[in-house]
């Protein structure tokens, strides 16, 4: 942190000012002039919260993607299919048992199993051939998409939100002041906040597991140089299978999350594949904090963009990617 | 920096005069199979009826030309770009926007001979800019970035109503009509498509043996050494993107004339990936590959439904068939159908060499 400030004083100043402005926008009661210029504060806060929670979902999808890439140099373009598969599994479980929590567990286990099978049966056979692996994942994503269309049809599915999470809660953020002087607080769906908290917890747990445990140390060593790691006697194939299972399982969990606060249908796989691509390009390939930062930026850009410049929302996302590629081709938080 | 400068180095570094002459010649001239295929393509309107002529052969040639632009980038430049269909779609949109269509509030109504060069120029600029972005990274990153560009364009055309008319797209695009010929009639249109495809094929074939193409292949094989030799690696790559974009743009113009409409569905991510499948299935080492791949793809797309129903399966599983076929090709032959063919030829040759081996003829 201090090193960053020392090395880039101008950028640090810009970031501090931006954070201060954002905090003021969130906590202060907007003066009437500002409300006239950009619209109601409630709309802004809603878009902001939607963006942050969407960022949480993107993080869940992209972290698995970036983890698999970081260790195995495998651009898994079937990651979107794993997301959709997890979502459908979650829907089936929650529709038959009524348990939302159980649907997460089963979705995680089943998609992780698919990931293990992919790694053992397919990717192990073509280790080191990046391009061929990527082609295979493209073929697999086509096959999976059609199999899922076959099994589930083209309908929209939405996973039932459990009763204890339905409804909005009031947040201690003032959106406006009534003429009587009574403040109006922001009301926001509880389920999205819970899901966002869960993705933050998963992110922190992943960070801790990677940085504070032995297996995490092995994985980080593998990201840096997997040949030397294998030479030191680590059974790297087991590590690969484990990481692939974890990455796929995270995509499965994300599918259940996405099925709860959005919906599941054919085509969502490509949407989330694109989202994770952009997120990891922006954040930096193979970096978990990068995935978190990228997911937050892209989620916010998408939601704020769709509120304030509706027809060009996708262009904003794209421009961010272009800007990052132009200034820092390796991504914001990548080391190399 | 300049291509002429590179050319001098390239000529000097060629190993021997004989080798150079072999590289400079047209390899197809001595191949009887190439002459036969060319002759069949020329007299095709006598053999095939309107459906086969347009739906099978013209579509094959158009898709093959788009895939050819990908083959040029991937085979000679080592850059797998998934945005070639997006560039073609962009050119198609531009023809519809500048030319005449039923959406009079959008189309500017220029005559075709003005709209087409404009569309080609814009598509080339678009593709070159995208390429300039993509060459900042390497290898598998290129796939990701070009896929992201393609997907962004797809979502943008869906959202934008001012230029791209949202998800309905632009309909009833007019086609050229001069010298008393409506060039969208089946037979004239087939010849237009054939001429453009042949032009692109021979252009790529020529470039692959020209100094620029040889330098590009050098960049593909060892960018570091090429940079040390004084070649501007990125300039070559971006120039390759410009060439490929122009080819894709030409195919896009033909595509919009073929269907007379363009909508976001034509530039979807799935369609972008189809182009990759076509190129890989055909083989990305030689310019003929994409056309073979396109023929396989179009035949499958057109007849898979009947075929699947006949053997008692659900006819809608066409994409499953395509995906499995693609997987099989990627698994067994890194060089697509061409690779399989060459391997078969080699094994035949080996058998013939053996005493008492099976004869062939």
What's the distance, CA A12 to chain centroid?
26
In a mutagenesis test of the B interface, which of A72, A137, A138, A280 is the best target, namely the one with the most B β-carbons within 10 Å? A138
- pLDDT over 80 at B28, yes or no: no
pLDDT tens per residue, range A109-119: 999 999 999 88
pLDDT tens per residue, range B206-217: 888 888 888 888
Average per-residue pLDDT for chain B: 78
Return the closest-CA partner of residue A256 out of A119, A114, A60: A60
User: How much is the pLDDT for A183?
Assistant: 73
pLDDT confidence of B352, banded at 50, 70, 90?
low
The predicted model gives A137-143 an average pLDDT of 87
Enumerate residues 156 to 215 of chain B having a beta carbon within 8 A of any beta carbon in chain A: 156, 159-162
pLDDT tens per residue, range A235-278: 888 888 888 899 899 999 899 888 887 888 888 888 888 888 88
pLDDT confidence of B19, banded at 50, 70, 90?
very low
Query: Which residues from B are below 8 Å from A321, CB to CB?
Result: 145, 148, 152
| Chain-chain contact of B270 with A270 (C-beta, under 8 angstroms) | yes
Residue B269: how many other CB atoms lie within 10 Å: 24
Which residue, chain included where needed, has tokens 């809603």?
A: A46
Give this complex's ipTM.
Answer: 0.74
Among A132, A270, A277, select the one facing B144 at the smallest CB separation: A277
Instruction: Determine the 3-state secondary structure of A264 from DSSP.
Output: strand
Distance (Å) from the alpha carbon of A32 to chain B's nearest alpha carbon: 32
Is the distance from CB of B260 to CB of B173 less than 8 angstroms?
Answer: yes
User: How much is the pLDDT for B105?
Assistant: 74
pLDDT confidence of A1, banded at 50, 70, 90?
low
pLDDT tens per residue, range B231-248: 888 888 899 999 999 999
User: How much is the pLDDT for B103?
Assistant: 73
Rounded Cα distance between A62 and A44, Å, is 26
Contacts of B118 (CB under 8 A, 6+ apart): B94, B98, B110
Take residue B214 and report the two structure tokens written for it: 């040889």
Instruction: Using alpha carbons only, give the angle B265, B270, B275 rounded to the nearest 5 degrees.
Output: 105
The predicted model gives B160-165 an average pLDDT of 78
- pLDDT over 70 at A205, yes or no: yes
- pLDDT over 70 at B20, yes or no: no
- Measured in degrees and rounded to the nearest 5, phi and psi for residue B2 equal -85, 150
Segment among A240-244, B1-5, B28-32, B225-229 with least mean pLDDT: B1-5
pLDDT tens per residue, range A40-62: 777 788 888 888 888 999 998 89
Instruction: Determine the 3-state secondary structure of A177 from DSSP.
Output: strand
**Model confidence, pTM:** 0.80
Rounded Cα distance between B122 and A77, Å, is 30
| Chain-chain contact of A274 with B151 (C-beta, under 8 angstroms) | yes
User: How much is the pLDDT for B16?
Assistant: 41
Dihedral of CA atoms A54, A60, A65, A69 in degrees, nearest 10, equals 120
| A144 → chain B, closest CA residue | B320
Return the closest-CA partner of residue B96 out of B311, B204, B258: B258
Among A132, A281, A329, select the one facing B330 at the smallest CB separation: A132
Percent of chain A with pLDDT over 90: 10
pLDDT tens per residue, range B270-303: 888 888 888 888 888 888 888 888 888 888 878 8
Distance (Å) from the alpha carbon of A283 to chain B's nearest alpha carbon: 14
Distance (Å) from the alpha carbon of B161 to chain A's nearest alpha carbon: 8
- pLDDT over 60 at A298, yes or no: yes
User: How much is the pLDDT for B329?
Assistant: 81
The predicted model gives B175-194 an average pLDDT of 76
Rounded Cα distance between B186 and B193, Å, is 11
pLDDT confidence of B22, banded at 50, 70, 90?
very low
Percent of chain A with pLDDT over 70: 94
Phi-psi region of B81 (alpha: psi -120 to 50; beta: other; left: phi over 0): beta
| Chain-chain contact of B159 with A147 (C-beta, under 8 angstroms) | no
Q: How many CA atoms lie within 13 A of B51 on its CB side?
A: 3
Query: Which residues from A are below 8 Å from B314, CB to CB?
Result: 150
User: How much is the pLDDT for B306?
Assistant: 78
* Domain assignments of chain B as residue spans, ordered by start: 30-268
Take residue A197 and report the two structure tokens written for it: 């908290």
In a mutagenesis test of the B interface, which of A142, A284, A307, A336 is the best target, namely the one with the most B β-carbons within 10 Å? A142
pLDDT confidence of B86, banded at 50, 70, 90?
very high
């Amino acid at each position: 942190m201090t090193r960053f400030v020392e090395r880039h004083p101008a950028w640090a100043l810009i970031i501090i000012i931006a954070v201060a402005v954002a905090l003021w926008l969130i906590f202060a009661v907007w003066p009437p002039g500002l409300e006239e210029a950009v619209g109601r504060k409630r709309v802004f806060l809603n878009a902001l919260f939607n963006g942050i929670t969407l960022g949480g979902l993107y993080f869940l999808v992209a972290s698995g993607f970036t983890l698999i890439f970081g260790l195995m140099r495998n651009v898994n373009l079937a990651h979107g299919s794993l997301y959709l598969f997890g979502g459908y599994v979650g829907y089936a479980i929650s529709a038959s048992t009524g348990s939302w929590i159980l649907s997460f567990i089963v979705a995680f286990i089943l998609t992780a199993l698919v990931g293990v099978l992919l790694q053992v049966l397919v990717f192990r056979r073509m280790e080191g051939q990046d391009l061929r692996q990527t082609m295979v994942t493209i073929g697999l994503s086509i096959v999976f998409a059609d199999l899922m269309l076959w099994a589930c049809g083209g309908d929209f599915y939405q996973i039932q939100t459990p009763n204890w999470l339905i409804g909005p809660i009031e947040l201690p953020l003032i959106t406006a002041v009534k003429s009587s002087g009574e403040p109006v607080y922001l009301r926001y769906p509880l389920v999205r906040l819970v899901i966002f908290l869960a993705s933050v917890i998963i992110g922190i747990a992943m960070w801790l597991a990677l940085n504070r445990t032995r297996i995490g140390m092995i994985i980080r060593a593998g990201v840096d140089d997997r040949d030397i790691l294998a030479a030191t006697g680590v059974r790297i194939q087991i590590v690969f299978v484990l990481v692939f299972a974890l990455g796929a399982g995270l995509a499965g969990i994300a599918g259940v999350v996405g099925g709860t606060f959005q919906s599941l249908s054919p085509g969502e796989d490509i949407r989330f594949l694109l989202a994770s691509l952009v997120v990891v390009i922006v954040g930096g390939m193979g970096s978990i904090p990068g995935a978190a930062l990228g997911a937050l930026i892209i989620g916010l850009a998408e939601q704020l963009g769709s509120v304030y410049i509706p027809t060009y929302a996708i262009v904003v996302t794209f421009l961010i990617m272009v800007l990052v590629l132009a200034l820092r081709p390796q991504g914001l938080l990548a080391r190399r | 920096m300049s291509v002429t400068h590179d050319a001098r180095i390239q000529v000097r570094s060629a190993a021997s005069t004989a080798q150079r002459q072999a590289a400079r010649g047209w390899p197809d001239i001595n191949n009887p199979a190439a002459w036969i295929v060319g002759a069949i393509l020329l007299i095709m309107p006598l053999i095939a009826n309107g459906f086969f002529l347009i739906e099978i052969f013209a579509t094959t040639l158009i898709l093959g030309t788009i895939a050819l632009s990908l083959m040029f980038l991937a085979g000679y430049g080592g850059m797998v770009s998934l945005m070639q269909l997006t560039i073609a779609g962009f050119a198609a949109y531009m023809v519809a926007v500048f030319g005449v269509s039923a959406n009079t509030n959008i189309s500017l109504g220029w005559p075709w001979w003005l709209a087409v060069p404009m569309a080609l120029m814009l598509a080339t600029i678009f593709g070159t800019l995208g390429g300039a972005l993509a060459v900042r990274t390497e290898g598998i990153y290129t796939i990701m970035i070009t896929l992201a560009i393609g997907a962004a364009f797809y979502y943008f055309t869906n959202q934008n109503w001012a230029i791209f008319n949202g998800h309905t797209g632009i309909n009833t695009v007019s086609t050229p009509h001069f010298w008393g010929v409506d060039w969208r009639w089946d037979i004239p249109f087939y010849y237009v498509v054939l001429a453009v495809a042949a032009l692109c094929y021979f252009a790529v074939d020529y470039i692959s043996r020209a100094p620029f193409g040889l330098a590009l292949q050098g960049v593909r094989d060892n960018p570091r050494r090429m940079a040390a030799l004084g070649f501007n690696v990125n300039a070559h790559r971006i120039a390759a993107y410009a060439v490929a974009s122009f080819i894709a743009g030409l195919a896009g113009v033909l595509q919009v004339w073929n269907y007379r409409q363009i909508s976001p569905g034509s530039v979807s991510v799935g369609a972008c990936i189809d182009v990759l499948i076509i190129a890989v299935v055909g083989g990305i080492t030689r310019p003929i590959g994409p056309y073979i791949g396109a023929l396989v793809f179009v035949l499958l797309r057109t007849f898979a439904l009947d075929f699947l129903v006949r053997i008692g399966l659900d006819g809608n599983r066409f994409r499953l068939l395509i995906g499995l076929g693609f997987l099989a090709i990627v698994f067994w032959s890194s060089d697509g159908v061409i690779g399989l063919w060459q391997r078969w030829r080699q094994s035949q040759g080996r058998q013939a060499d053996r005493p008492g081996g099976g004869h062939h003829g």
